Amino acid sequence: MDKNWDKMFETRLSKMTGWRDSTLATHHDSLTLFYPFSGPDFLHANYLYPHAPTYLLAALEPVAAVPQLDTLPLSDRDKFLDTLGVSLRDIFQKSYFITKHMKTDLKQVKGVLPPLYFFIQRSGHEFISQKFITIDSTGNETEVDYNKLHWQKTPGVKLVIRNIATQEIKTVYYFSVSISNSGLTER
């Protein structure tokens, strides 16, 4: 993971940062960033818009509870971490997730949260809180018990994080939803 991260940072993320600083220098990223078809890609959203207070990610991939790694037997933990590494291969190599791979990979790591956690932590943030949520019929955010999350039309998660270097507090929303024309009609 460290080798892949270092290579990606050197060949892509550092260049993105340079481009961002020279091209978007006059842009103040103080608005909510909406990233459709994102999968768990907080990484690129954050590197392009590091001061956005709110990131709204939406994609088809499911939200699921993350296993408690410290309670798993060592062999299961190793298998989980190996699977997480495999699930990140397209981001490391290409800068985007491939839907066909994610369908298989994210079943094995139990949804978008493990890669999302990985990107949040590796980009210099720490977790403050997490809630499973949905959007009700009036457009309001509602906290949902995890066991009832998948009964919702718009299952999601709300993560509050802090940038360790700047102390900026950010909110990351991820909703598992089809934002295609037919998917939105169903909502």
pLDDT at 39: 82
pLDDT at 143: 95
Could you tell me the mean pLDDT of each successive run of 10 residues in the chain, 187 residues long?
84 86 76 88 90 92 83 82 74 67 62 88 95 92 92 93 96 88 60
pLDDT at 99: 65
pLDDT at 161: 98
pLDDT at 77: 80
Going by their DSSP bridges, the two strands 156-163 and 169-176 should be labelled as: antiparallel
Backbone angles phi, psi at 81, to 5 degrees: -65, -35
pLDDT at 182: 63
